[in-house]
Structure 1
């Protein structure tokens, strides 16, 4: 029987790369995203690897839509074997100007949704006595940068949630790990570049060199495929059952400082 992976934010960027990696191993894929062409992206990816799939445009700020997505996935495939909490948003501002509603949005998408989705898939994983929760955190879950108070706080929270889930999941064969990438050139990062240009008064080239890649020991953006292969390793390798509670940095040496 095929395994199933539910991956949030999986119709672009890192999430799409993760979906493709798991589909390549024969997993059924539950796609989630808000892009207008999301259903087409999901169908095309699933067809490429000849796997079954579902697509949900669930707004992760809405607990009811999260429940519907998980219930629909379990009804179709019987169980969720791998949950990847990947979806993310960003807002950059000095703390004194940071809008309260943006703080709430970032917390809802990054941290609240990861909690609710983990809670929803947990009983099935417990019953099966296996499962993997993989949270896409960030190097900002390990260190901080200015003007990103909500993002940094949420990503630190994700790592704390990961560790708690690892402790609770151990007796049931459930692993929980966080991946902490450095800067990956995704649509989310592309959106941040002009925002950082405005905040710092820099050109695009200066922002890439002096803000995004400044702390990377290897002066390059991380690839989505590198993150995807790490997620696959944490769920599908011979080592996977023994790795839990980790916050694994894939950051070109950023947090080695």
Structure 2
């Protein structure tokens, strides 16, 4: 499906980003990884992709708060493979707290990582995509890009911004065989979700299943976590030639959350 393609996935050393990178590699793409992790962990991920799929993978520790390093990340893809076909803006961080208690530095950090990094990556990737005659941009947003929720001001603001950015880029590139879409997951089963469950069990003294159903999945009508593989499979489709007419869309994978 992605044979001969080159994909760059930010925030791809764990969670959704790593899942997407693995699916891309399995579909035949060469992959540029980015994110945090111990050197031995990163080496294992890169070697795992190579051995499992036969594809080529490279890694950059580029800091998503630094525009110059984001530019260098895109250049790494071009220098390593000579092209860039798919850009997935997945890097993100989260903070919970009332809007009047969010530290200013936390607000600035979340907007830098969750929103501005996507702008910088797209800005640097578009010239290469235009030269080669096409490309795919996929922004990992959130159900909170479509609805609000208490205590999520910075995250929800950044993800709402991602939807606006997605639409504008889609319109600006609509005649150039470049698409730009946003995937909006609800609750996804990741190591972070497991940590949140453990924390809530301790905080509220409730049974694990009650925490999952009545707290974490309170807004998700199907009462189940989406799997990383579901997000990755959808991203792989959006990256393929079969999705050439899908652009400017905010596409929920949220168990009905935003159907309310």
Conserved 8 A contact 2:36-2:61: yes
> Per-residue deviation at 1:118?
0.4
Q: Does 1:16 align with 2:21?
A: no
Task: Sort the Cα spacing of 1:94 and 1:202 in 2 relative to 1 into closer, same or farther, 3 A.
Answer: farther
Task: Sort the Cα spacing of 1:207 and 1:145 in 2 relative to 1 into closer, same or farther, 3 A.
Answer: farther
CA RMSD of aligned residues (A): 1.7
Equivalent residue runs for 1:242-253 within 5 Å: 242-253=245-256
Q: Does 1:126 align with 2:130?
A: yes
Find 1:165's aligned residue among 160, 164, 169.
Answer: 169
Q: Does 1:175 align with 2:184?
A: no
> Per-residue deviation at 1:188?
3.4
> How far apart are the structure 2 equivalents of 1:194 and 1:100?
28
> What's the secondary structure of 2:188's corresponding residue?
coil
Find 1:68's aligned residue among 66, 72, 94.
Answer: 72
TM, length-normalised to structure 2: 0.93
Equivalent residue runs for 1:94-109 within 5 Å: 94-109=98-113
Q: Unmatched 5+ residue regions in structure 1?
A: none
> Per-residue deviation at 1:190?
3.7
> How far apart are the structure 1 equivalents of 2:205 and 2:115?
31
Aligned to 2:121: 117
Conserved 8 A contact 1:11-1:42: no
> How far apart are the structure 2 equivalents of 1:197 and 1:83?
37
Conserved 8 A contact 1:92-1:195: no
User: How many positions carry a matched residue from both structures?
Assistant: 255
Conserved 8 A contact 1:90-1:192: no
TM, length-normalised to structure 1: 0.94
Q: Does 1:149 align with 2:153?
A: yes
> Per-residue deviation at 1:172?
1.0
